[in-house]
Amino acid sequence: MLDAIAFPIGYMLRFIYTHLAFGNYGVAIILLTVFLRLLLTPLTLKQYYASAKISEVQPRLKKIQKSYAHDKEKLGLETMKLYKEHNVNPAGSLFPMLIQMPMFFALYYVISQPLKYMVGKSPDDILRLYEMIPVTNRVANMRDLSIIGYFSKFPDRVAVAGDLLRSGDLINMDFFGVNLGAIPTYRYLEFMEAPMRTQNLLLLLIPLAAVVTTYVSVRYPLRQTTGATEDTTQGFAPGTMSLIAAAVTGMVAFSVPAGLGLYWTAGNMAQMLQNMTLNAFVSKRAPDKKKQRKCKTTKRICTSAQERN
């Protein structure tokens, strides 16, 4: 099922890599991230406003929870009544996130299998190429990256592959000295291997950047929508949710190619920029919303005031 998403993303990344990023794989990933973020802007707006609506009813929701703490049935009815009254959909802020998850997994396929999704090689051709390289250069679950790494290191051996491989099929994984096809490591013995020490240090920066930007991107909108308080949401404080998200990011970023960590970092930075823009826009409109709410609660006074004007 993910192939239906992965192939279009792969061909898109290939186009950007060839025509817009001038053969720089890292720049191509960043440009793809920006493009996908722009494509998902309507969903981002929907998610943001859904979260804002939920935040607006939080004070009343807490009163209901306190009043009916020992009556679960009444609590549920009053909660649903509150949501209906304010046109709030509790799942509204989660649905856009669920839509984005398949895209993330599809991108993992693209970055870990570029020969299949970017170049269009068949699984049989990839297997035959994989069997041509020495056993010491093979990584079982990363066939595409093993092939690219080997033939990029020994370009004179591309001719041996015949029609199976052309030099133009080899994606240049280098991004300012970082091999985006490699998996970062935090294990001391692997990290301190003399030939790879500098490479491992540079690789380490990518998952660390992904962790930091995830923490900030999760915490920033929460601070905005909760009024910079430590109020709990679904049983978690904003700081706790940010730490959990950052921890999950760290675990994933150290088990996938660095290119995915770069995508994650670029996506987080784009999200923070979007959030700052949205927060600035919403804060300018906030006084008008307060006036509207006041008029709704004191309808007669507002009506008479308008008649006098």
pLDDT surpasses 50 at 305: no
Q: What average pLDDT does the segment 33-56 reach? A: 82
Confidence bin at 143 (pLDDT 50/70/90): very high
Per-position b or e across 48-61, b if 16+ CB within 10 A of its CB: bebbbbbbebbeeb
The answer to whether position 68 is within a domain reads: yes
- Nearest Cα to 85, choosing from 254, 297, 289, 303? 297
Cβ–Cβ < 8 Å for 242, 218: yes
- Of 205-209, 283-287, 289-293, highest mean pLDDT: 205-209
Q: Check residue 107 and give its pLDDT.
A: 92
Which of the four pLDDT bands, split at 50, 70 and 90, describes residue 221? Answer: low
Cα 225 to Cα 52, 93, 218, 255, distances in angstroms: 6, 12, 11, 33
Whether residue 198 is contained in a domain is answered as yes
Residue 39 lies in a domain: yes
Task: Please indicate, yes or no, if residue 303 is contained in any of the structural domains.
Answer: no
Q: Tell whether 197 is covered by a domain.
A: yes
At residue 235, does pLDDT exceed 80?
Answer: no
Judge whether residue 64 has pLDDT over 50.
yes
Q: Across the chain, what does the average pLDDT equal?
A: 81
Overall average pLDDT of the 7-25 stretch: 95
Mean pLDDT of 263-285: 81
- Expressed as residue numbers, the domain containing 268 is 3-112+173-284
| 152 within some domain | no
Taking residues 266-279, report their average pLDDT: 85
Alpha carbon distance 248, 215 (integer Å):
10
pLDDT band at residue 307, thresholds of 50, 70 and 90?
A: very low
Distance (Å, whole) CA 100 – CA 225: 21
Of 263, 5, 10, the C-alpha closest to 114 is 10
Residue 191 pLDDT grade (very low, low, confident, very high; cuts 50, 70, 90): low
Note the pTM of the prediction, 2 decimals: 0.78
Residue type, 240: T
Instruction: Report the pLDDT averaged over residues 44-58.
Output: 78
Q: How many domains does the chain have?
A: 1
Distance from C-alpha of 212 to C-alpha of 196, rounded to nearest angstrom: 24
Sorting pLDDT into bands at 50, 70 and 90, what band is 87? confident
Token pair belonging to 135: 């056993």
Which of 136-140, 260-264, 284-288 ranks highest by mean pLDDT? Answer: 260-264
Confidence band (pLDDT; 50, 70, 90) for 95? low
In a domain? residue 46? yes
Domain assignment of residue 40, yes or no: yes
User: Would you say residue 225 has pLDDT above 60?
Assistant: no
